[in-house]
Structure 1
Amino acid sequence: MPHARDVSDSLLRPGEFLRRTRLSAKALRLYAEQGLLLPDTVDPSSGYRGYAAGQVERARLIAALRRAGMPLARVRDVVDLDPPQRRAAVARWWTGVEGDVRRRRVLVDALTAEPTEEEHVYEVSLREVPEATVLTAERRLTVDELDGFIAGASDEIAAHLARSGAAPAGPLRVVYHGMVTEDGDGPVEVVQPFTGRVDPAGELRIRLQRAGREAVTCLSRGQAEFPGILGAYDAVGAWVDAQGLERAGSPAEVYLSDRDVDPDRPHVEVAWPVA
């Protein structure tokens, strides 16, 4: 919080601070509202704000991070780090940005490509799903957090089962209870059927997966590469509608193999519960 004392002549008035930092008044207000760049002092009688000369460098750093496209929430986590930690944090963030750009490029290529006659045909079938006890982790998140959450939750579930002396009893599922995009936050649930005795721990929960039926199609690792997997969701949904069935739950990806499997080998199933 800014100090409630008279503004000293050694401090910078807002106008001078803006000239030195090359910030706009709008940006300065925004950074203040976000708690990123508060005035060093506020005159208790006049309300005039004063900025310390040392805050100029901080303002320039915030502005540089924003020009690079870093979200304000991430800037807040980065700006107060020691220089070596800050450099590492910025590098990690940028690696994620580049990965996101590559995924967007693939999607844009698919959206702008001319249609071809060689459209992939998905084989969809109906199967029974037995009742199972499952260990799950669920979270609301956006697309840039998705891969990290799935990997982390999968590892945490596997480690907890091992510590408990329990064992997986089927493939891992990732259930999408809602769309995950830059605007949609799911939630997403990582689900592992198991046998043995396990207690809940941290964010891990135990629930009963009821028996039922689901429409399913299987994809090789190559077919499952984004955005190809989106076509599988469309195909399963269209098949369910064509069969006069009712979608009775959230769709899931059922992982049959690791990502390093041969591109032509079965890798993931897209499944949709039906009634």
Structure 2
Amino acid sequence: MNDDLLTIGAFAARSRLSPKALRLYDRLGLLAPAHVDEASGYRYYRADQVGRARTVALLRRLDMPLSRIAEVVEAGESDGVRASALLAGYWAGVEERIAAQRTLADYLRGRLSGRSSEMYGKFVVETVDVPEQVLMTETRHTLADELPAWITASLGRLEEAAKGCGGVTGAPFVVYHAEVSQESDGPAEACVPVADAAAAQAWARGRGRAGESRVRVEPARRLAYTRIAKAQVAHPQILAAFEAVEAWVAEQGLEQAGPCREVYFADWDAAGPQDPVCDVAFPVK
């Protein structure tokens, strides 16, 4: 055996990882010893493995899953730029999740303390008049945890189809015809306004019942709405925005004139957690 190899105890001291952690990382393929004695089972490491070991330890302090650590460390062996990009992508997701959790915590504090009116005051509610629109739509019964993926996919399909129907003429939106939660499955309706009603009707006939696709004309209506950031869109954080608009409508002596909706006016992928992306709205009269 090479005399330059370090015992697991000596390597643990240099790398700032416990022997228990080193055994775990060996089993997971994150940090294999340079040599394992067949007779005793003792693990030995090279001194040049210390850098990798410390990287693993630091990434664990970011609460990065072991599978992601393996990807970053492997990339770092040959391509530091890619490894850095992988870490940046992971951390962007962490910051987005923390921003959403912060919004949820604020919402829950308001509910638990009975300060609902104070909480609603954080939302600026306005009205806007929307003209009559020809809509290409998809409808689906879905629970809250499945909703974000379905919204992305359905609006993507509709916007692609709209290219053959005169193009998109307004912000896409989702209408909630009944509650969507972990217990209630809606339905929800994804809607994209288009220019060519005849072409849209032909598209709908060709689709049959696929995805509950159809075309409808929505009459002109007035919406009461509040604008929210990307971090506020997740369920149940978004409930505070819906409740704030409902409270404002009641205070103004207005009546709800249809199901609530979310209007998406920004590029979701390009937006940061605090960037405005969505209007939470109710038709009113």
Verify: 1:271 aligned to 2:281, yes or no.
yes
Summarize the alignment of residues 75-224 of structure 1 with structure 2, pairs less than 5 Å apart.
111=108, 115=113, 119=119, 121-162=122-163, 164-196=164-196, 197-198=199-200, 199-200=203-204, 201=207, 202-203=210-211, 204-224=213-233
2:9 — aligned with what? none
Change (3 A) 1:269 1:185: same
The sequence identity of aligned pairs, in percent, is 34
Gaps of 5+ in 2: 1-99
SS at match of 2:154: helix
Change (3 A) 1:183 1:118: closer
How many correspondences in the alignment? Answer: 174
CA offset at residue 240 of structure 1? 0.6
Cα deviations by residue, 1:140-190 (Å, 9 ceiling, x for unpaired):
12223212221221121122222x253011111011111112221101000
Between the aligned partners of 2:274 and 2:156, the Cα distance in structure 1 is 26
Conserved in 2, the CA contact under 8 Å of 1:136 and 1:205? yes
- The worse-fitting range, judged by mean Cα deviation, of 144-153 and 123-132 is 144-153
Cα deviations by residue, 1:220-269 (Å, 9 ceiling, x for unpaired):
22343443321110110001111111111000000111223133332100
Summarize the alignment of residues 65-80 of structure 1 with structure 2, pairs less than 5 Å apart.
none
Gaps of 5+ in 1: 1-102
Change (3 A) 1:111 1:262: closer
Summarize the alignment of residues 238-253 of structure 1 with structure 2, pairs less than 5 Å apart.
238-253=247-262
Change (3 A) 1:271 1:109: closer
Conserved in 2, the CA contact under 8 Å of 1:134 and 1:193? yes
Cα deviations by residue, 1:193-224 (Å, 9 ceiling, x for unpaired):
01122220233210001111111111122343
Name the one with the larger helix percent: 2
Change (3 A) 1:132 1:150: same
Cα deviations by residue, 1:43-65 (Å, 9 ceiling, x for unpaired):
xxxxxxxxxxxxxxxxxxxxxxx
Equivalent AA in structure 2 for residue 256 of structure 1: F
Superposition TM-score, scaled by structure 2 size = 0.54
Equivalent AA in structure 2 for residue 185 of structure 1: D
Between the aligned partners of 2:261 and 2:251, the Cα distance in structure 1 is 20
Change (3 A) 1:223 1:191: same
Superposition TM-score, scaled by structure 1 size = 0.56
SS at match of 2:238: helix
SS at match of 1:121: coil
Between the aligned partners of 2:151 and 2:172, the Cα distance in structure 1 is 10
Match of 2:272 among 225, 245, 262: 262
Change (3 A) 1:221 1:143: closer
Conserved in 2, the CA contact under 8 Å of 1:106 and 1:227? no
